[in-house]
Structure 1
């Protein structure tokens, strides 16, 4: 895409900056169980990014709950508030916020949540209150997303023209609102397998780790080390699949827990592997989504560096500490996940550096 110089960046919150969905997973299921109901995932996905009052009314109607929308909200919101402190930033977010704030780029936060909930959520993240010059909730404007009102108001308060803003969103509702404001729109989808819902965005990324400031006329990053980007460690645990080769270990969601990994984690990473029977090893890890099925499925390939022992089905712990590159755009996910000799060479050298090696013994307990 052509270079577009932006004067300010406006972010959505839930799913874009904070992985609140993962932190609050199971609340809706448990709540509906009280009334003998189960969540309809298709309907729940369509509610992504909606205003809370609209979502509450739809939930009461869809599941025929013996409650008013107000009663439903009063009953379930305390359950969500208890979990918000557990929400982690989406990978790449802290790096991007710090970088833009350091270089004096005006930042806004515009969410379909009400203001008091936004302030509660960001209060648990160090420094975030200081990053944003403008924070707006749905109660600060006449119409919430997909109306562009909240983005137009954010641009106004930032003192810039909407067309000179970059808006970063994760939901189709938010992308539509952002596009209607006249701003440039970057989508980092939280709905896997529904890329058509994001097609109006100016650019789609699977991860904010792939954000390129130069595309938007913003100051470049300078934090890559030995061809790798240091990241906040991501922990994965699971079982190696039967039939995995010595160095190429296949792991799928049936065998693996991804509770700490946001859906927007995609690409080739370096890190440390610990096998139940063989101990520690340097590793290259590629991960992405298989969208060929009715239900999107996360897949991981792990290549152990300089390991020649025979591998059977056994427990595996992974700690991802660095990022190398995005996955190539290929129809076959297995082809996209292939780890190259260059990836392995980068891992060998980078993982000897203190910035990466310091994590070797952290949280890898089988």
Structure 2
């Protein structure tokens, strides 16, 4: 990829830039329950990335609803619009979009969503509208994704040949469309469990935190500090099931039920660091590896923590609050999950030294790790 020259970048929106799926989670189930129905996960997964009109028609048929597709859309859309303001930028997104815009790289948004819905969604993200010189909805082209029309039209409006465009997508539908258009493609799927992404995309990333612009002939980032990358703070909480000393660190095992971790998108994978508040003990520096256990049919988040300090007198089921403030590296490719999640001495050294810097240490007393009820607030440290 080092020899590639990219002149413009085209982004998908939902699931690529914005975490709209989690913000709107449960709406379909709530709506269908009114008619004695339940969502079918397999059918809904196949609808990811498709045009709203196409999805609406399929939903009416699949669940035998007493509507036309237009009536269904009119009934459910206000429920989605009410939640869109809660959708947050996915990890690394604001950093990348702002960086490219500052360096004068032409940017476009190309989504199967209707144009007015795209504009409404990004209106809640400060500065985003000004970053995109082209905003294109699925209702503005003849055929939506997986047809290439929307990316071809976006490149035309940008004034850049499609062969010099990089498309960043999260869904297979979008990746197929980008590939068919002749653009280069970076895939950022929510879970790294579908081999087809590897076959179609030029590059597959866990999150846009891992994106390296210089590999595409774009201006490189210059925001790393002592081998650590500052990121927008991410909050999580859970319960400690076990803590023990190993190699000079306190290793923490946690309970990983479906509701154990809050506010961490699926795309958060790698070695991170931050501040951990253990309710009855205090606040500590922590370095943490976060991945996915894909060995069974249901993917389970896998987390390993090294507390930089010693825990004494903790109790089982002790509650913790964790604020991720920095990124160190992506996970290594290993056959054994334990090896994948291994935290090295170098990781711990980088985390310990970084958390002494004001840009990271200011978050130690953040309300997000002091009070669970404050987790929806913006955390800016002291």
Question: TM-score normalized by structure 2?
Answer: 0.93
1:327 aligned partner: 331
Determine if the alignment matches structure 1 residue 106 to structure 2 residue 110.
no
Q: Distance in 2 between matches of 1:195 and 1:206?
A: 14
Measured at CA, do residues 140 and 235 of structure 1 come closer, stay the same or move farther in structure 2, by a change above 3 Å? Answer: same
Q: Distance in 2 between matches of 1:340 and 1:210?
A: 19
1:148 aligned partner: 148
1:245 aligned partner: 244
1:287 aligned partner: 290
Q: Distance in 2 between matches of 1:110 and 1:51?
A: 12
1:173 aligned partner: 173
**Counterpart of 2:305 in 1: which secondary structure?**
strand
Q: Distance in 1 between matches of 2:283 and 2:40?
A: 42
Note the aligned Cα RMSD (angstroms).
Answer: 1.4
Compute the displacement of 1:193 (Å): 2.1
Q: Distance in 1 between matches of 2:276 and 2:295?
A: 29
Measured at CA, do residues 223 and 84 of structure 1 come closer, stay the same or move farther in structure 2, by a change above 3 Å? Answer: same
Q: Which runs of 5+ in 2 are unaligned?
A: 373-382
Which deviates further from its counterpart, 286-295 or 75-84?
A: 286-295
Q: How big is each residue's C-alpha offset from its partner over 1:23-52, in whole Å with a ceiling of 9 and x where there is no partner?
A: 000101111111111111111111110100
Determine if the alignment matches structure 1 residue 265 to structure 2 residue 264.
no
Q: 5 Å matches for 1:169-318?
A: 169-241=169-241, 243-246=242-245, 247-254=250-257, 257-309=260-312, 311-313=314-316, 314-318=318-322
Which deviates further from its counterpart, 192-201 or 43-52?
A: 192-201
Q: Distance in 2 between matches of 1:199 and 1:69?
A: 34
Q: Distance in 1 between matches of 2:219 and 2:197?
A: 30
Given that 1:252 and 1:299 are in contact with CA atoms closer than 8 Å, whether structure 2 keeps it comes out as no
Q: Distance in 2 between matches of 1:292 and 1:117?
A: 38
Question: TM-score normalized by structure 1?
Answer: 0.97
**Counterpart of 1:105 in 2: which secondary structure?**
coil
Compute the displacement of 1:255 (Å): 6.8
Q: 5 Å matches for 1:32-181?
A: 32-181=32-181
1:343 aligned partner: 347
**Counterpart of 2:39 in 1: which secondary structure?**
coil
Q: Distance in 2 between matches of 1:194 and 1:259?
A: 25
Q: Distance in 2 between matches of 1:255 and 1:315?
A: 16
Compute the displacement of 1:226 (Å): 1.8
Q: Distance in 2 between matches of 1:290 and 1:13?
A: 27
Count of aligned pairs between the two proteins: 365
Q: Which runs of 5+ in 1 are unaligned?
A: none
Q: Distance in 1 between matches of 2:256 and 2:57?
A: 33
Compute the displacement of 1:308 (Å): 4.7
Given that 2:237 and 2:262 are in contact with CA atoms closer than 8 Å, whether structure 1 keeps it comes out as no
